[in-house]
Structure 1
Amino acid sequence: MAPGQGPAAPVPPGPARAFIGSFTSAGGRGLLTAAVDPRTGALTALGATAAVADPSYLALAPDGRVLYAVSERDQGAVAAFDVADALPRQLGEPVPAGGGSPTHLALADGHVVTANYGSGSVTVLPLRADGALDAPSCVLHHHGSGPDPERQEGPHAHQVLPDPSGRWVLSVDLGTDSVRVCALAADTGTLSVRAEVALRAGSGPRHLAFHPAGTHAYVVNELAPTMTVCRWDAAEGTLTRLSEVPLLPEPVEGASYASEVVVAPDGRFLWVANRGHDSISVFALPADAARPELRTTVPCGGHWPRDLVLDPTGRRLYAANERSGDVTWFDVDQESGIPRLAGSLDAPAASCVVLG
């Protein structure tokens, strides 16, 4: 130890478990639970349940005791699981989502909100005291289309996310090339649109993530390998498009479809998963958060990375590789932000990872 230096600050412990969603229709095991090694971040499978078909996206309650899963079917549904014990226990029957093919869900002010890709709508489901779900209190339908006749013939809500202030719920729509800013009335469980923000026609926005300062949002586009940088004003509920930056270095062979974006807890780095290119893009974020700089891309360790999640310490990154059927994990260099592959777990048709 150098003179005058105290002992190094202890690294906070990471999450104890991981929950992995998958497509049962493609051979997945449904909802897979894994233990997380606190020293290495390695995953060890504990068990799985296929009680719900195609639980493609998951969300964990803030207290970590209840897990919610969409059932991405034509007649979409949402299921709740008690995860206080080692393995999940279903809380009642799945509740119809009021929309088709839900691809995403989030918790907001005592409710679960889903993005229904197939029907181009957003559904609000109230929560009971025990964490179980009530029937939908609101289904908000999107309207519009985009220039791609195959993917944008109508609205396709792909993500719902509360903003860091908790005052707004944003929905990202691939079909209409837009993001809607909504207010959720907690007493009635209804959504009202504050504004619809147009992004570049044909870009096909899929998911967004907020900077931890709450001043910017980063929208990854599925139909173009780009990311749209936006300014966010929580006081007014306004999203302002600033720029669009490439996700990959040039030249790139073949098609690439971005899936997920995550931002470091300290706001210094940002990562994007790219399907087809099968990579993770690494961006450095400047102090003002407005001009992401593409540093490099690294292989995702599998094929078709559908989801990407960072552990709360910012030291490990996990990718759900749908078509190779595994979840890979990476140690993140704290100086450069570059992930280094550290291991993998077999998880057929993996689509989502939640840590808790």
Structure 2
Amino acid sequence: MGSADRGGERADAGGHGGAGGTAAGPAEPGPARGRRAYVGSFTSTGGRGITTATVDPVSGALTPIATTDALDDPSYLVLGAGAATLYAVSETKRGAVGAFRPTAAGLVPLGSPVVVDASGPTHLSLAGDHLVTANYTSGSVSTLARAADGRPSGPASVLRHHGSGPDVDRQREPHAHQVLPDPSGRWVLSVDLGTDSVRVCALDPATGALRVHSEAALTPGHGPRHLAFHPGGALLYVLNELRPLLTVCRWDATAGTVEPVAEVPVAPEGGSGAARAYPSAVVVSPDGRFLWAAVRGIDVIAAVALPGDGAHPQLTGSVSCGGRWPRDLALDPAARRLYAANEHSGDVTWFDVDPLTGLPRRAGSVPVPAATCVVFD
């Protein structure tokens, strides 16, 4: 989000776009009906809301089968345990979270969206019995309780960030961009582009309130956007949006602390006639051998090797994202393919991953207007 991510191209809240809501159908477990993918999009710029697609088990190809525009601008999605419930943020001025029940015919809304008492939520995660959202415009993190049937409920508990950064256009105030529980389940980490920092929070399981336990200061002006953990558990990687750099950090789950130790480029810094690079999403392979970063502006997927314990990443190459403005990057459950949600070209492109080098090779694409996010059941 922010000027580079949104560039004045869309309003905070807009009308529905694309097809209407999906009809209800009988619920079926994932294995019985085959794997599904869900793609979020901006309804305010022509997207269809959330697209449900089948996934070909051999080629990985996506085939859309249904859409629902029951929620405005569902820009980020997450599935609950067993893929029984799909959650989505409504990235609007009046930010909210919507919940859906996956069925054979598509998605069925579970009640009305619940407001997060903040504006512009860009990311959400599951933390125990709660949903947590990162609210870019408000510079805060919100927590909602979840009922036994998966429905979110308010009122939201809101933790407001404080601070700023040196970039006068993008960092006048806090801009929380991602919120994620750590692998141990003890902590919730929030990444703030506006304050150049990562906050480590403790979550009260009874009230859902978040309390800041520690805060790691990253390089001023780099604008951290998203992070991903190394499967070894001792490292995390922070992808910066305002500079095309990956920050390597030590993670201490016992102490609840983040320590930045190195920076690695994921794209050229630019030069005469070169487009500026705006990294957006970072993914680490389950075996800890590779990392991939989507980079908008220059519209590539960077491949990074993680030799040894992963503390010394090495950029090994990059490939075209297959479209324009790759907002999100997802690895399929088998870790064989990468999927790029290309917002400006309005498509999802998938890539076969070379198991030896980690380099992606384009394998196909499907039109999805204003695509923002891809998740798999």
TM-score normalised to the size of structure 2? 0.89
Give 2:376's aligned amino acid. Answer: L
2:324 corresponding residue in structure 1: 303
1:107 corresponding residue in structure 2: 126
The reply on whether 1:232 has 2:251 as its aligned counterpart is: yes
2:197 corresponding residue in structure 1: 178
1:339 corresponding residue in structure 2: 360
User: Cα distance, 1:213 vs. partner?
Assistant: 1.2
1:318 corresponding residue in structure 2: 339
1:74 corresponding residue in structure 2: 93
User: Cα distance, 1:85 vs. partner?
Assistant: 3.5
Check conservation: 1:265, 1:312, Cα contact below 8 A: no
Report how many residues are paired: 345
Could you list the per-position Cα deviations for residues 234-257 of structure 1 after superposition, in whole angstroms to 9, with x for gaps in the alignment? 111111000111111476622010
Give 1:158's aligned amino acid. Answer: H
User: Cα distance, 1:313 vs. partner?
Assistant: 1.5
Residues 40 and 139 of structure 1: is their aligned pair in 2 closer, same or farther, counting only changes over 3 Å?
Answer: same
- Which residue, out of 305, 316, 321, partners 1:284? 305
* 2: CA distance, partners of 1:235 / 1:173: 23
1:328 corresponding residue in structure 2: 349
The reply on whether 1:116 has 2:135 as its aligned counterpart is: yes
User: Cα distance, 1:70 vs. partner?
Assistant: 0.5
Give 2:375's aligned amino acid. Answer: V
Check conservation: 1:123, 1:138, Cα contact below 8 A: yes
Tell me the SS of whatever aligns to 2:153: coil
* 2: CA distance, partners of 1:124 / 1:251: 39
* 1: CA distance, partners of 2:85 / 2:78: 9
2:212 corresponding residue in structure 1: 193
The reply on whether 1:51 has 2:70 as its aligned counterpart is: yes
Could you list the per-position Cα deviations for residues 90-126 of structure 1 after superposition, in whole angstroms to 9, with x for gaps in the alignment? 0000000111000000000111000000000000000
Check conservation: 1:307, 1:321, Cα contact below 8 A: yes
User: Cα distance, 1:214 vs. partner?
Assistant: 1.1
* 2: CA distance, partners of 1:193 / 1:86: 42
User: Cα distance, 1:312 vs. partner?
Assistant: 2.0
1:272 corresponding residue in structure 2: 293
Tell me the SS of whatever aligns to 1:266: coil
User: Cα distance, 1:86 vs. partner?
Assistant: 3.4
Question: Could you list the runs of 5+ residues in structure 1 that have no partner in the other structure?
Answer: 1-14
**Aligned sequence identity (%):** 61
- Which residue, out of 141, 144, 160, partners 2:163? 144
* 2: CA distance, partners of 1:54 / 1:130: 24
Give 1:336's aligned amino acid. Answer: T
* 2: CA distance, partners of 1:326 / 1:276: 16
* 1: CA distance, partners of 2:314 / 2:282: 14
User: Cα distance, 1:137 vs. partner?
Assistant: 4.1
Tell me the SS of whatever aligns to 2:82: coil
1:213 corresponding residue in structure 2: 232
Structure 1 segments (4+ residues) deviating >2 Å: 249-252
* 1: CA distance, partners of 2:268 / 2:334: 28
Check conservation: 2:215, 2:257, Cα contact below 8 A: no
2:280 corresponding residue in structure 1: 259
Check conservation: 2:269, 2:277, Cα contact below 8 A: no
* 2: CA distance, partners of 1:251 / 1:150: 19
* 2: CA distance, partners of 1:23 / 1:171: 23
Check conservation: 1:65, 1:84, Cα contact below 8 A: no
* 2: CA distance, partners of 1:312 / 1:16: 10
* 2: CA distance, partners of 1:104 / 1:220: 15
Deviates more, 1:100-109 or 1:247-256: 247-256
Deviates more, 1:251-260 or 1:139-148: 251-260
User: Cα distance, 1:62 vs. partner?
Assistant: 2.0
Tell me the SS of whatever aligns to 1:88: strand
